[in-house]
Structures are given as structure tokens and as C-alpha cells.
Amino acid sequence: MIELEDIWRTYQLGDTTLHALAGIDETIQDGEHVAIMGPSGSGKSTLLNIIGLLDRPTRGTYRLDGRAVGGLDDDALAAIRRRGIGYVFQSYHLIERLDARGNVELPLILDGVAPRERRGRVEAALEAVGLAERADHRPSELSGGQRQRVAIARATILNPRVILADEPTGNLDSSSGEQVLALLEGFRARGLTLILVTHDPAVARRAERVIILRDGRVVRRMPGRELQDLERALAGE
């Protein structure tokens, strides 16, 4: 379970104080599928980075499975990230000099997994995303959708409990985007928690719950299925 209590993230820009997040209170249950929406600069990616332990709040309390993580040192946070949280980004973040197999294998190397076990797990991960035949291709030799599927295989290779996705379909055509969403939702169907940032209402509608941010604050929470009704209401239909 993810519990955020009065989370603030503040930046000082000269004489100006910028509140990227301002008093966020949120609980995300295990196995939930949550979408985070809001205009540019609303704090979506900042919130995702704090949930993913890539950033620390200026103040407030973050509990992960009942454990307050704010006081943990960088090594402890890195261990939680590596084994418990998978990340999928809009720009893929693949290493160009490594082929698909090498990119997926990297978390296993960092986690100290033996070479023989690594080989089997990488093959299974690439098979799961439909890219077993592309294992020896570098990112430049793959389409955008294929690169994102490699990123998903890498994000899930250590069997995390939470997947965080920041605009995972933002660089993809509709067909590739549908494949990526289906993969992510497939992992969520196995019990993983899926939290994604998106500007696309069609993507957000697929979530159980949508959190809408504006100026660093939660301004609305709603079931994903009700998002279309809200869009129509705002459009005056």
C-alpha cells in the first residue's frame, strides 16, 4: 500500500518559491490501476518521482507497506526501487550500445543474479512481451513500440510489486500504444499495482481511478469510466 500524507515538493528559484506539490494526501491500494492527469506543470511527474523514490518530498510522510521511507538513506531507497518498483518512461531510457537482451538483463546484473539464471529470466521476459526474436537487436534497430516493450520487460524482470509509467504511449502510434497498454494491464491483472501519468483521456479512462492535479494539488478524483462523462460536461454537450 502507498500512503502519502501532506506531501509537499518545493523548489527555490532565486527569490521565487515554487510549490510543485502542495499538500498531497493519497492512498493507493495494492493491485490498483491509477491514472494521474493534469495540465503541463501540474505536478504529475513530480508526484510519480516521489512515489517511485526518485525524489524526496520537502515535507510530509510517505509510507510504503506501512513503513515510512522518508528517513531511509540512498542505499536503502535504491534497494527498494530495484526490487519493488518498475519504471516505464516515454523516452524508453534504453542503453543504445546494448541489444534488447542486454538492456533487459541489466537489472539482474545489478542485483547480483548468477549468469545462468539471468539467461533464462531474460528469455522469458522478452517472450512475455513478444520480442524473443528481437533479442539481439539494438534500440536503433527497433520500432518505438518494440523499444517500449523492451523497457517493460526490463521494468518487470525483477518481479516488482509496483509499475510506474510516465506517458508510456506518448511517442507511439495508436496501434503500438494499444499493445503497450495491454501489456501493462496484463501485468496489473497478475496483481501488480499500476500507476501511470498520461495526458490522454483515452488512456486514463482504462484506469480504475483517475487523480487530477492542478498547481500541485489534487482537484478531483473519479473512476476512470466517468472521465468521458466529465469531458462531455466540460464541453457543454
H helical segments located in the chain: 44-51, 74-84, 100-110, 115-128, 144-156, 174-189, 201-204, 227-234
Are 1 and 65 in contact by the 8 Å Cβ rule? The answer is: yes
| Confidence band of 222 (pLDDT split at 50, 70, 90) | very high
Look at residue 232 and tell me whether its pLDDT is greater than 60.
Answer: no
- Each residue of 36-83: pLDDT tens digit? 999 988 999 999 999 999 999 999 999 998 899 988 999 999 989 988
Q: How many Cβ atoms are within 10 Å of 84's Cβ, its own excluded?
A: 16
Over residues 103-108, mean pLDDT:
95
Q: 2-94+158-234: what fold?
A: Rossmann fold (3.40.50)
Residue 163 is inside which H or E element, if any?
strand 162-166
Instruction: Give 7's strand partners.
Output: 24
Grid coordinates in use for 143? 520500432
Please state whether the predicted TM-score (pTM) of the whole model is above 0.85: yes
CA 174 to chain CA centroid, nearest Å = 19
Q: In this structure, are strands 59-64 and 2-13 parallel, antiparallel, or unpaired?
A: antiparallel
What CA–CA distances, in Å, run from 67 to 2, 47, 77, 79, 162?
10, 18, 12, 14, 16
Q: What digits encode the pLDDT tens for the residues 168-206?
A: 998 888 999 999 999 999 988 888 999 999 989 999 999
